[in-house]
Copies of this chain bind each other. A is one copy, B any other.
Amino acid sequence: MTYCAGFLVRDGLVMMADTRTNAGVDNVSTYRKLRVHANDGNRLIVSASAGSLSTTQDAVQRLHQGVPNPETGETETLESVSSIYDAALAAGRALRAARDGMESLEQQQISFDATLLVGGSVGGEPLRLFLVYPAGNCIECGPDTPYLQIGENKYGKPILDRALCYDTELYEAVKIGLISFSSTMRSNLAVGLPIDLVTARQGQSGAEVVHRIGPNDGYFAELSRRWSEVINEACRAVPRVPFGPPA
């Protein structure tokens, strides 16, 4: 399993991914799922992947070698695309081609589907964030719901729905994201540390922070402990139900 989340708030972009993969509970490994494909001042392209590891690795390989664009006849790579939207479209073509190549392998109801988040900016355009579906189509993140999730998204969604909005400050958004990851990891063992994350500030070129939260990260341990504590305080702060015998 995997959990990846991307936020596009007024201040900028946050992308986060865990690193746990598993084929059954007795075959658990660590793989980087957040990839910084370009970060050279002019071009910031970051992806996060969930789903079949073989399909995502195949798609990434195709993106680096070049993916044919049937509309232009040209072969595109993440180094050549002229916008982050074109990067998302190229990623969609790569994902679709990778999955189609796997179809002959399908057996025992194993899915070779994979999903991507693609975010960043090319040549000074505003930061944008996309979710690329297994079929190759994509949707863009907008200010009304300023996040996109892929993978094991449900456990970590309530905190985003309650606490994250377009006006949330960039590193407050990172903190809310880490709470979302902590909740997911507590409820599903198939999501685990390390967590990789990238932030970028609107109007500035390149990534602001590229960071890995490792298995012994003191801040993350303290965040998880504190969150349990404040959630229990929050429960107590909600009034008692108005039925049943008096306390």
Contacts and interface: CB of A to CB of B under 8 A. Distances in A.
B231 A237 contact: no
Given A183-B158, A226-B238, A238-B179, A171 B247 contact: yes
A158 B161 contact: no
A178 B199 CA distance: 36
Interface stretch (A44-52, A70-78, A89-97, A162-170): A162-170
Question: A interface, how many residues as a size bin?
Answer: 35 or more
Nearest to A158: B183
Contacts of A156: 158
A26 interface: no
Given A227-B234, A230-B234, A232-B162, A241 B154 contact: no
User: Interface on chain A toward B: helix, strand, loop, or mixed SS?
Assistant: helix
A155 interface: yes
A68 B242 CA distance: 43
A166 to B, nearest CB: 15
B208 A244 contact: yes
Given A158-B155, A186-B158, A187-B161, A176 B235 contact: yes
A165 to B, nearest CB: 10
Given A186-B162, A223-B239, A174 B244 contact: yes
Given A154-B154, A161-B187, A175-B240, 16 more contacts: A155-B157, A158-B184, A158-B187, A159-B231, A162-B228, A171-B244, A171-B245, A171-B247, A172-B235, A175-B238, A208-B244, A208-B245, A219-B241, A227-B234, A227-B238, A233-B234
